[in-house]
């Protein structure tokens, strides 16, 4: 792990920020209850935590002085003014595992970063130009195992340059998170020497993984995974291949991938048993899940088995297309019988209104990463993009959290139907789903 400038204090900053926000609520409560002693107590804490965070606490000091006749030290006022006069400063650059975190002393937006990608000779370059001044820039070099070279340089007074160079075209993303820019290299094939695989470095890497999770996930997220069908309900079938078996294997791989990333994961079934659709979402609600992901395999009519193929992602909403309604009809078999499309649409609109946007965002992130994970092995022409769609899937009805249904391929297709039953394909699509879920939580 390489840490620059005030990186050793990054954890402290998060700690004091949480304390500051919690104390602010307590202070407001003291004001509402007209408790002067409590006001003074929490004002002192606000000033303490605020000074640790370089936050302007002058208004709290003035109020404390009014209540308690506590003198405002001139040095404190000077410190506040000096912070206010600082240019748009970068306080630290932290690199761990496959991420680089750039911390600012103020809220930022998308205009603070400009990304360019180019190729020169045999090398690919991912170039990030970031507004801000980092006094310890150097030039210095960062290291991520699997990336040939990373350089950081203060190009101008208020322009920081961060360049990743590699023999392969890296997949990088960046996220704007209040006072942070997080640059992440996805699907990195780590190239380590034998010495780097020593026990000591494994311990260091474990610490780095914990740091990554603390930075990206302040609280552990809960995910409920739902392997479609099961028991007496085989789902789609073709050539003695059963959807219920495919979905269970993929979900088990996915659970392992997500747990390695630090998520808390539950499954609606772990063996070949039948579970009612309504019971699945009730289980997710009981576990207070942050998201619900249902895994399925698609099927096509007999006249289209040789043509229909591809990966698709759905979120709960009244279906906008005939294709979405057809797929939903297959997955909803045996549920909500006797209800017409108009009645179903009305019910879905009421049940799903608050979750549509979040579920749509999650479906987009998962679809993108599923395709990327599969295509780098099988190729773009082999893995078809079925897109992100709205659909009335009853397995998602009743979930009190953003939820999606994923169709991992067509079990009825002559080639894809075999492919989705192989361990290689199942592991790759599980990796893609896991990356998509991680990306969704980072962005939201």
Residue 330 has a pLDDT of 54
- Mean pLDDT for 123-129 is 91
Residue 85 has a pLDDT of 43
Q: Pick the residue with more confidence: 194 or 362?
A: 362
In the chain, the percentage of residues whose pLDDT exceeds 70 is 73
Whether residues 208 and 329 fall in one domain: no
Model pLDDT for residues 82-102, shown as the tens digit of each residue: 333 445 588 888 877 788 888
Whether residues 323 and 432 fall in one domain: yes
Q: Would you place residue 13 in the very low, low, confident or very high pLDDT band (cuts 50, 70, 90)? A: low
Q: Would you place residue 270 in the very low, low, confident or very high pLDDT band (cuts 50, 70, 90)? A: very high
Whether residues 211 and 233 fall in one domain: no
Residue 158 in contact with residue 133, Cβ under 8 Å?
yes
Which residue, among 410, 421, 417, 425, has the nearest Cα to 308 in the 3D structure? Answer: 410
Whether residues 249 and 177 fall in one domain: no
- Mean pLDDT for 370-385 is 93
Domain total for the chain?
A: 3
| Pick from 110-124, 143-157, 216-230: least confident | 216-230
Whether residues 134 and 192 fall in one domain: yes
Q: Would you place residue 329 in the very low, low, confident or very high pLDDT band (cuts 50, 70, 90)? A: low
- Mean pLDDT for 418-444 is 92
Residue 70 above 70 pLDDT? Answer: no
- Mean pLDDT for 350-365 is 74
Q: Which helix (H) or strand (E) holds 183?
A: strand 180-186
Domain finish residue from 70, 85, 100:
85
- Mean pLDDT for 418-427 is 96
Q: Domain limits at 12? A: 2-85
Domain finish residue from 56, 85, 114:
85
Which residue, among 8, 435, 440, has the nearest Cα to 211 in the 3D structure? Answer: 8
Residue 425 has a pLDDT of 97
Whether residues 63 and 137 fall in one domain: no
Residue 145 has a pLDDT of 81
Whether residues 409 and 281 fall in one domain: yes
Residue 178, Cβ density class (10 Å: 0-12 exposed, 13-18 middle, ≥19 buried): exposed
User: CA 412, CA 337: separation in Å to the nearest integer?
Assistant: 25
Whether residues 128 and 233 fall in one domain: no
Whether residues 97 and 242 fall in one domain: no
Residue 8 has a pLDDT of 37
Whether residues 163 and 285 fall in one domain: no
Whether residues 190 and 329 fall in one domain: no
Q: What global pTM score does this model have? A: 0.52
Whether residues 264 and 307 fall in one domain: yes
User: CA 334, CA 270: separation in Å to the nearest integer?
Assistant: 22
Structure tokens at 180: 């942070």
User: CA 105, CA 112: separation in Å to the nearest integer?
Assistant: 13
Domain finish residue from 215, 248, 267:
215
Mean pLDDT of the chain: 77
Q: Which helix (H) or strand (E) holds 236?
A: none
| Domain CATH number, residue 194 | 2.60.40
Q: What angle do CA 173, 177, 179 make, to 5 degrees?
A: 125
| Pick from 44-58, 245-259, 378-392: least confident | 44-58
| Domain CATH number, residue 377 | 3.40.630.40
Residue 62 in contact with residue 31, Cβ under 8 Å?
no
Which residue, among 193, 185, 194, 138, has the nearest Cα to 166 in the 3D structure? Answer: 185
| Pick from 142-156, 241-255, 277-291, 416-430: least confident | 142-156
Residue 10 backbone phi and psi in degrees, to 5: -60, -45
Residue 3, Cβ density class (10 Å: 0-12 exposed, 13-18 middle, ≥19 buried): middle
Residue in the structure block whose two tokens are 């998962």 = 366
Residue 288, Cβ density class (10 Å: 0-12 exposed, 13-18 middle, ≥19 buried): exposed
Residue 413 in contact with residue 309, Cβ under 8 Å?
yes
What is the per-residue burial (b if ≥16 Cβ within 10 Å, else e) of 58-74?
bebbebbeeeeeeeeee
Q: Give the strand pairing for 90-96 and 2-5.
A: antiparallel
Q: What angle do CA 327, 332, 337 make, to 5 degrees?
A: 125
- Mean pLDDT for 313-328 is 59
List, as one string, the DSSP characters of 288-333: T-SEEEEEEEE---GGGTTT---EEEEEES---SHHHHHHHHHHTT
Q: Would you place residue 239 in the very low, low, confident or very high pLDDT band (cuts 50, 70, 90)? A: confident
Residue 428 above 80 pLDDT? Answer: yes
């Amino acid at each position: 792990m390489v840490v620059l400038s005030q990186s050793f204090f990054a954890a402290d900053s998060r700690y004091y920020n949480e304390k500051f926000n919690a104390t602010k609520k307590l202070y407001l409560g003291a004001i509402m209850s007209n408790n002067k002693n409590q006001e003074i107590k929490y004002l002192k804490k606000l000033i303490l935590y605020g000074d640790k965070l370089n936050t302007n606490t002058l208004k709290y000091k003035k109020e404390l002085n009014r209540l308690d006749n506590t003198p405002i030290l001139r040095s404190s006022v000077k410190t506040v003014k000096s912070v206010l006069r600082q240019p748009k400063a970068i306080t630290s650059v932290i690199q761990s595992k496959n991420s680089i975190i750039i911390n600012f002393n103020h809220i930022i937006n998308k205009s603070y970063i400009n990304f360019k990608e180019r190729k020169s000779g045999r090398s690919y370059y991912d170039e990030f130009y970031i507004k801000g001044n980092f006094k310890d820039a150097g030039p210095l070099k960062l290291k991520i195992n699997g990336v040939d070279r990373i350089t950081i340089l203060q190009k101008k007074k208020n322009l920081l340059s961060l360049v990743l160079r590699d023999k392969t075209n890296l997949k990088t993303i960046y996220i704007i998170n209040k006072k942070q820019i997080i640059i992440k290299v996805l699907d990195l094939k780590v190239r380590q020497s034998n010495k780097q695989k020593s026990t000591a470095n494994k311990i260091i890497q474990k610490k780095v993984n914990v740091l990554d999770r603390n930075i990206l996930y302040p609280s552990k997220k809960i995910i409920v995974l739902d392997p479609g069908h099961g028991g007496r309900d085989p789902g789609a079938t073709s050539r003695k291949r059963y959807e219920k078996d495919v979905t269970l294997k993929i979900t088990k791989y996915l659970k392992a991938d997500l747990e390695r990333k630090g998520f808390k994961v539950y499954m609606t079934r772990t063996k070949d048993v039948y579970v009612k659709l309504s019971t699945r979402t009730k289980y997710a609600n009981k576990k207070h899940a942050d998201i619900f992901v249902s895994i399925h395999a698609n099927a096509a009519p007999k006249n289209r088995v040789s043509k229909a193929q591809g990966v698709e992602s759905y979120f709960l909403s009244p279906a906008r297309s005939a294709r979405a309604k057809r797929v939903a009809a297959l997955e909803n078999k045996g549920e909500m019988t006797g209800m017409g499309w108009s009645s179903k649409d009305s019910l879905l609109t009421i049940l799903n209104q608050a979750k549509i946007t979040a579920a749509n965002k999650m479906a987009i992130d998962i679809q993108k990463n599923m395709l990327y994970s599969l295509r780098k092995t099988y190729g773009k022409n082999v893995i078809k993009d079925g897109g992100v769609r709205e659909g009335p899937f009853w397995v998602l009805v009743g979930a009190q959290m953003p939820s999606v249904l994923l169709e991992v391929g067509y079990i009825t297709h002559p080639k894809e139907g075999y492919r989705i039953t192989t361990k290689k394909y199942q592991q790759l699509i599980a990796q893609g789903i896991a990356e998509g879920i991680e990306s969704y939580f980072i962005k939201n």
